[in-house]
Amino acid sequence: MSVNSKRRVGFVFALVSAAALVAPAMAGATIGSLASSDSGSLGSLGTGSFGSLGGGSLGSSEEGFTCSALSTDKDPAGWGIPFDDEKKQLAFYSDVDVLDADGSLKLKIVEATPDNRSVSYHSAGSIPLADAVAKEIGFDEKAPTSQAAFQLRLSNATNPNDGGYTTLYWVAAGNDVVDTTAGETHTNIQDGLWISTRDIGGVPRNVPTGLDDIIAANPAATVEHYGMSIGRAAQGDTNVDAVKFNGCTTNFAVVASTGSLGSLGNLFGSLGS
Protein backbone atom coordinates (compact mmCIF):
# COMPACT_ATOMS: atom_id res chain seq x y z
CA MET A 1 0.00 0.00 0.00
CA SER A 2 1.39 3.43 -0.96
CA VAL A 3 2.03 6.18 1.60
CA ASN A 4 -0.84 8.25 0.19
CA SER A 5 -3.20 5.28 0.41
CA LYS A 6 -2.24 4.70 4.05
CA ARG A 7 -2.80 8.38 4.83
CA ARG A 8 -6.21 8.34 3.19
CA VAL A 9 -7.27 5.24 5.09
CA GLY A 10 -6.13 6.88 8.30
CA PHE A 11 -7.94 10.07 7.37
CA VAL A 12 -11.24 8.31 6.73
CA PHE A 13 -10.88 6.25 9.92
CA ALA A 14 -10.27 9.40 11.96
CA LEU A 15 -13.27 11.18 10.48
CA VAL A 16 -15.56 8.19 11.02
CA SER A 17 -14.34 7.87 14.61
CA ALA A 18 -14.98 11.57 15.24
CA ALA A 19 -18.45 11.30 13.73
CA ALA A 20 -19.28 8.41 16.04
CA LEU A 21 -18.32 10.46 19.09
CA VAL A 22 -20.54 13.40 18.13
CA ALA A 23 -23.29 11.61 16.23
CA PRO A 24 -26.21 13.49 17.89
CA ALA A 25 -24.75 16.81 16.77
CA MET A 26 -24.14 15.62 13.20
CA ALA A 27 -27.50 14.13 12.28
CA GLY A 28 -27.93 14.56 8.54
CA ALA A 29 -24.55 16.25 8.14
CA THR A 30 -21.94 15.40 5.53
CA ILE A 31 -18.18 15.45 5.97
CA GLY A 32 -18.20 18.76 4.10
CA SER A 33 -20.42 20.33 6.75
CA LEU A 34 -17.63 19.98 9.30
CA ALA A 35 -15.88 22.96 7.80
CA SER A 36 -17.98 24.86 5.31
CA SER A 37 -21.57 26.01 5.16
CA ASP A 38 -21.34 25.71 1.36
CA SER A 39 -24.93 26.80 0.95
CA GLY A 40 -24.93 26.61 -2.82
CA SER A 41 -23.44 29.92 -3.85
CA LEU A 42 -20.23 31.80 -3.42
CA GLY A 43 -22.16 34.12 -1.13
CA SER A 44 -23.11 37.72 -1.76
CA LEU A 45 -21.03 40.49 -0.35
CA GLY A 46 -22.80 42.50 2.30
CA THR A 47 -23.57 46.16 1.97
CA GLY A 48 -21.22 48.84 3.13
CA SER A 49 -17.48 48.75 3.58
CA PHE A 50 -15.68 45.43 4.10
CA GLY A 51 -13.50 47.19 6.66
CA SER A 52 -10.46 49.32 6.14
CA LEU A 53 -6.97 47.91 6.40
CA GLY A 54 -5.53 49.98 9.23
CA GLY A 55 -2.23 49.79 11.02
CA GLY A 56 -2.07 46.02 10.56
CA SER A 57 -1.63 46.24 6.81
CA LEU A 58 1.81 45.83 5.26
CA GLY A 59 0.51 46.74 1.84
CA SER A 60 0.30 44.45 -1.13
CA SER A 61 2.84 41.63 -1.05
CA GLU A 62 1.98 40.72 -4.61
CA GLU A 63 -0.61 41.80 -7.14
CA GLY A 64 -4.17 41.24 -5.90
CA PHE A 65 -3.19 40.11 -2.40
CA THR A 66 -2.81 42.30 0.67
CA CYS A 67 -1.06 41.02 3.76
CA SER A 68 -2.60 41.90 7.11
CA ALA A 69 0.13 41.14 9.62
CA LEU A 70 -1.93 42.26 12.64
CA SER A 71 -5.66 41.87 13.24
CA THR A 72 -7.05 43.22 16.52
CA ASP A 73 -10.30 43.96 18.29
CA LYS A 74 -9.79 47.62 17.36
CA ASP A 75 -8.73 47.03 13.74
CA PRO A 76 -9.68 43.68 12.15
CA ALA A 77 -7.52 44.61 9.13
CA GLY A 78 -9.76 42.93 6.58
CA TRP A 79 -10.67 39.82 8.59
CA GLY A 80 -14.34 39.05 9.10
CA ILE A 81 -17.40 37.57 7.39
CA PRO A 82 -18.16 39.16 4.01
CA PHE A 83 -20.89 36.65 3.10
CA ASP A 84 -24.50 37.36 4.06
CA ASP A 85 -25.37 33.69 4.55
CA GLU A 86 -22.63 33.28 7.19
CA LYS A 87 -22.83 36.57 9.11
CA LYS A 88 -24.19 34.93 12.27
CA GLN A 89 -21.34 32.40 12.38
CA LEU A 90 -19.20 34.67 14.51
CA ALA A 91 -15.58 34.48 15.59
CA PHE A 92 -14.16 36.54 18.46
CA TYR A 93 -10.99 38.20 19.64
CA SER A 94 -9.76 36.59 22.85
CA ASP A 95 -7.17 37.27 25.54
CA VAL A 96 -6.32 33.56 25.56
CA ASP A 97 -2.76 33.11 24.30
CA VAL A 98 -1.84 30.28 21.95
CA LEU A 99 1.94 30.60 21.60
CA ASP A 100 2.49 34.36 21.93
CA ALA A 101 1.36 36.72 24.69
CA ASP A 102 -1.11 39.11 23.07
CA GLY A 103 -4.25 37.07 22.48
CA SER A 104 -5.78 35.11 19.62
CA LEU A 105 -8.85 34.47 17.50
CA LYS A 106 -11.47 32.41 19.32
CA LEU A 107 -13.68 30.11 17.27
CA LYS A 108 -16.80 29.47 19.32
CA ILE A 109 -20.23 28.30 18.18
CA VAL A 110 -22.91 30.58 19.62
CA GLU A 111 -25.86 30.10 17.25
CA ALA A 112 -28.30 27.26 16.65
CA THR A 113 -28.59 25.35 13.36
CA PRO A 114 -28.01 26.33 10.57
CA ASP A 115 -25.57 28.91 11.91
CA ASN A 116 -23.77 26.58 14.32
CA ARG A 117 -20.34 27.35 12.92
CA SER A 118 -17.65 29.92 13.74
CA VAL A 119 -15.66 31.46 10.88
CA SER A 120 -13.48 34.34 9.81
CA TYR A 121 -12.10 35.10 6.35
CA HIS A 122 -9.63 37.37 4.62
CA SER A 123 -9.56 38.23 0.92
CA ALA A 124 -6.98 36.31 -1.09
CA GLY A 125 -7.18 38.66 -4.05
CA SER A 126 -8.01 35.97 -6.62
CA ILE A 127 -4.46 34.64 -6.66
CA PRO A 128 -3.90 31.36 -8.54
CA LEU A 129 -4.21 28.30 -6.32
CA ALA A 130 -0.92 27.09 -7.77
CA ASP A 131 0.83 30.23 -6.49
CA ALA A 132 -0.79 30.03 -3.06
CA VAL A 133 0.40 26.50 -2.36
CA ALA A 134 3.98 27.33 -3.37
CA LYS A 135 4.32 29.04 0.03
CA GLU A 136 3.70 27.68 3.50
CA ILE A 137 0.14 27.45 4.79
CA GLY A 138 -0.24 26.89 8.52
CA PHE A 139 -1.53 28.17 11.86
CA ASP A 140 -1.19 27.88 15.62
CA GLU A 141 -4.00 26.22 17.57
CA LYS A 142 -4.94 25.69 21.21
CA ALA A 143 -7.78 23.25 21.91
CA PRO A 144 -8.27 20.03 23.90
CA THR A 145 -8.49 18.28 20.51
CA SER A 146 -7.61 19.90 17.20
CA GLN A 147 -10.78 20.84 15.35
CA ALA A 148 -9.98 24.05 13.44
CA ALA A 149 -10.28 23.95 9.66
CA PHE A 150 -8.24 26.06 7.25
CA GLN A 151 -10.48 27.06 4.34
CA LEU A 152 -9.73 28.10 0.76
CA ARG A 153 -12.73 29.41 -1.17
CA LEU A 154 -12.06 28.91 -4.88
CA SER A 155 -13.34 30.21 -8.18
CA ASN A 156 -12.55 28.96 -11.69
CA ALA A 157 -12.33 25.32 -10.74
CA THR A 158 -13.48 22.72 -13.25
CA ASN A 159 -17.01 22.72 -11.87
CA PRO A 160 -19.56 23.72 -14.52
CA ASN A 161 -22.53 22.98 -12.27
CA ASP A 162 -21.55 25.67 -9.77
CA GLY A 163 -19.70 28.22 -11.86
CA GLY A 164 -16.28 26.99 -10.85
CA TYR A 165 -16.87 27.49 -7.11
CA THR A 166 -15.88 25.17 -4.28
CA THR A 167 -14.37 25.34 -0.81
CA LEU A 168 -11.29 23.31 0.04
CA TYR A 169 -10.55 22.66 3.69
CA TRP A 170 -7.82 21.05 5.77
CA VAL A 171 -8.33 19.46 9.19
CA ALA A 172 -5.77 17.77 11.40
CA ALA A 173 -7.50 14.37 11.46
CA GLY A 174 -5.49 12.12 9.16
CA ASN A 175 -2.90 14.82 8.46
CA ASP A 176 -0.80 15.51 11.54
CA VAL A 177 -0.50 14.36 15.15
CA VAL A 178 0.15 17.74 16.78
CA ASP A 179 -0.96 17.96 20.42
CA THR A 180 -2.85 21.27 20.66
CA THR A 181 -3.74 21.03 24.35
CA ALA A 182 -1.22 23.69 25.41
CA GLY A 183 -0.90 25.29 21.97
CA GLU A 184 1.04 24.04 18.96
CA THR A 185 1.70 24.82 15.30
CA HIS A 186 0.32 23.08 12.23
CA THR A 187 3.11 23.53 9.67
CA ASN A 188 3.19 23.17 5.88
CA ILE A 189 -0.39 21.98 5.65
CA GLN A 190 -0.30 22.68 1.92
CA ASP A 191 1.49 19.34 1.69
CA GLY A 192 -1.38 17.48 3.36
CA LEU A 193 -4.75 16.16 2.24
CA TRP A 194 -7.61 18.58 1.59
CA ILE A 195 -11.35 18.08 1.08
CA SER A 196 -13.51 19.75 -1.54
CA THR A 197 -17.13 20.51 -0.69
CA ARG A 198 -18.12 20.15 -4.37
CA ASP A 199 -17.31 17.77 -7.19
CA ILE A 200 -14.61 19.47 -9.22
CA GLY A 201 -12.24 18.29 -11.92
CA GLY A 202 -10.54 15.09 -10.84
CA VAL A 203 -11.73 15.49 -7.23
CA PRO A 204 -15.01 14.05 -5.89
CA ARG A 205 -16.50 15.94 -2.97
CA ASN A 206 -15.53 14.80 0.52
CA VAL A 207 -12.56 12.73 -0.68
CA PRO A 208 -9.20 13.73 0.91
CA THR A 209 -6.87 14.77 -1.93
CA GLY A 210 -3.45 16.38 -2.26
CA LEU A 211 -3.35 19.96 -3.52
CA ASP A 212 -0.95 19.04 -6.34
CA ASP A 213 -3.58 16.66 -7.74
CA ILE A 214 -6.30 19.29 -7.30
CA ILE A 215 -4.23 21.88 -9.16
CA ALA A 216 -3.36 19.46 -11.96
CA ALA A 217 -7.07 18.85 -12.59
CA ASN A 218 -8.06 22.52 -12.02
CA PRO A 219 -5.19 24.61 -13.40
CA ALA A 220 -7.23 27.83 -13.62
CA ALA A 221 -8.49 27.73 -10.03
CA THR A 222 -8.06 30.92 -8.02
CA VAL A 223 -8.34 31.58 -4.29
CA GLU A 224 -10.89 34.29 -3.48
CA HIS A 225 -10.83 34.04 0.34
CA TYR A 226 -8.96 32.05 2.96
CA GLY A 227 -9.89 31.66 6.59
CA MET A 228 -10.36 29.64 9.75
CA SER A 229 -13.44 27.85 11.03
CA ILE A 230 -14.86 25.22 13.28
CA GLY A 231 -17.78 23.19 12.01
CA ARG A 232 -21.09 21.94 13.23
CA ALA A 233 -19.66 18.91 15.03
CA ALA A 234 -17.15 20.96 17.03
CA GLN A 235 -17.08 20.63 20.82
CA GLY A 236 -15.93 23.56 22.97
CA ASP A 237 -13.81 26.54 22.01
CA THR A 238 -10.74 26.65 19.79
CA ASN A 239 -8.18 29.44 19.70
CA VAL A 240 -6.03 30.05 16.63
CA ASP A 241 -3.23 32.47 15.82
CA ALA A 242 -0.30 33.08 13.46
CA VAL A 243 -2.29 32.18 10.35
CA LYS A 244 0.07 31.72 7.40
CA PHE A 245 -0.97 32.13 3.77
CA ASN A 246 0.85 33.35 0.65
CA GLY A 247 3.89 34.54 2.56
CA CYS A 248 1.82 36.48 5.12
CA THR A 249 1.48 35.63 8.81
CA THR A 250 -1.45 37.25 10.63
CA ASN A 251 -1.17 37.76 14.37
CA PHE A 252 -4.55 38.03 16.14
CA ALA A 253 -4.35 40.20 19.25
CA VAL A 254 -6.41 42.03 21.86
CA VAL A 255 -5.45 45.67 22.40
CA ALA A 256 -8.65 47.09 23.92
CA SER A 257 -8.54 47.97 27.61
CA THR A 258 -12.30 47.63 28.21
CA GLY A 259 -12.23 43.84 28.64
CA SER A 260 -14.47 43.27 25.63
CA LEU A 261 -13.40 40.39 23.39
CA GLY A 262 -14.95 41.99 20.36
CA SER A 263 -16.50 40.18 17.40
CA LEU A 264 -15.35 39.66 13.84
CA GLY A 265 -18.90 39.02 12.74
CA ASN A 266 -19.89 42.46 11.47
CA LEU A 267 -17.31 44.61 9.74
CA PHE A 268 -19.89 46.53 7.73
CA GLY A 269 -20.26 50.23 8.31
CA SER A 270 -18.11 52.16 10.76
CA LEU A 271 -15.44 50.36 12.76
CA GLY A 272 -15.37 53.17 15.27
CA SER A 273 -12.74 55.77 15.92
pLDDT digits (tens, 9 = 90+) for 44-55: 333 222 233 333
**53 CB contacts (<8 Å, ≥6 apart)?**
66, 68, 77, 78
Query: Bigger pLDDT: 135 or 27?
Result: 135
Q: How many residues does the chain have?
A: 273
Mean pLDDT of 94-108: 97
Report the chain's C-alpha Rg in angstroms: 17
Q: For residue 257, what pLDDT band results from cuts at 50, 70 and 90?
A: low
Say if residue 164's pLDDT is above 90: yes
Q: Which run of H or of E encompasses 168?
A: strand 166-170
Say if residue 219's pLDDT is above 70: yes
- How high is the pLDDT of residue 64? 85
| Average pLDDT over the chain, rounded to an integer | 79
Q: Quickly count: other Cβ atoms within 10 Å of residue 112's Cβ.
A: 8
Q: Flag the least confident range among 179-193, 195-209, 256-270.
A: 256-270
Q: What is the dihedral of CA 203, 205, 207, 209, to 10 degrees?
A: 40
Say if residue 34's pLDDT is above 60: no
Cβ-count burial of 146 within 10 angstroms (0-12 exposed, 13-18 middle, 19+ buried)?
buried
Say if residue 67's pLDDT is above 50: yes
Identify whether the C-beta of residue 121 lies closer than 8 Å to the C-beta of residue 220. no
Say if residue 184's pLDDT is above 90: yes
Q: Flag the least confident range among 21-35, 147-161, 185-199, 218-232.
A: 21-35
